[in-house]
Amino acid sequence: MPESSSTSGLGVVRGRLLTRAALALLVASTALLAWWFVTNPPPLPSAEGHVTASTTAGRPVYVGVWTTPADFARTLDLAGVHLRADATVDVTLEPLLCRGGSIGVTTDPAPFCRELVDPAGATLRAGDSLIIKAEASEPGAVYVDLPTVAFREGPRWGHSRAGTKAVIAVVKP
């Protein structure tokens, strides 16, 4: 008696639904990885401690909070710099970008900076630094936290705390 074989055995047939689900999972995973890559650039350097400055009431002081080293290999297109401070007096704080120079503490930044500009919309490169212009009309103390820098670096964008804190004493003239 001849044996007959059936072609309808137990086989696994891939359906369109399974293929589409796998493709959708691959696309979603790739999109998630790309989104994470774009929105998580490497952090900017920060330091422990603080810069100490003093000035008289009514006279602005310029305090350097972050200087990029000469070998800084990143180019950052800045969207802005956010400053958060606690103060015992009303104080005006303004972040500035010092091009081609650096400042510790001074009342006149001109000799130390080739150019002083608003960081929003500027490009930060090696040799540039972030400074804070602080001015209060009466004596008191100002405690400035690490600046938060919003930036774009190539296809990547984000924000990061950078530099160091500052403590500013405002004394009577």
pLDDT digit string, tens, across residues 15-69: 788 888 889 899 989 988 888 888 889 999 999 999 999 999 999 999 999 999 8
Is 46 in a helix, a strand, or coil?
A: strand
Residue 3's pLDDT band (cuts 50, 70, 90): low
171 vs 13 pLDDT, higher one: 171
Is 16 in a helix, a strand, or coil?
A: helix
Quick one: pLDDT at residue 7? Answer: 53
Summarised one tens digit per residue, pLDDT across range 61-72 is 999 999 998 899
Q: Is residue 173 within 8 Å of residue 56, measured between CB atoms?
A: yes
* 46-171 carries CATH number 3.40.50: no
Q: What CA–CA distance (Å, rounded) separates 120 from 151? A: 9
Give the domain ranges of the chain: 14-43, 46-171
Average pLDDT over residues 118-145: 97
CA-derived radius of gyration, the chain: 28
Summarised one tens digit per residue, pLDDT across range 139-172 is 999 999 999 999 999 898 999 999 999 999 999 9
Q: Is residue 163 within 8 Å of residue 119, measured between CB atoms?
A: no
Quick one: pLDDT at residue 2? Answer: 54
Average pLDDT over residues 98-122: 95
Residue 5 has pLDDT above 60, yes or no: no
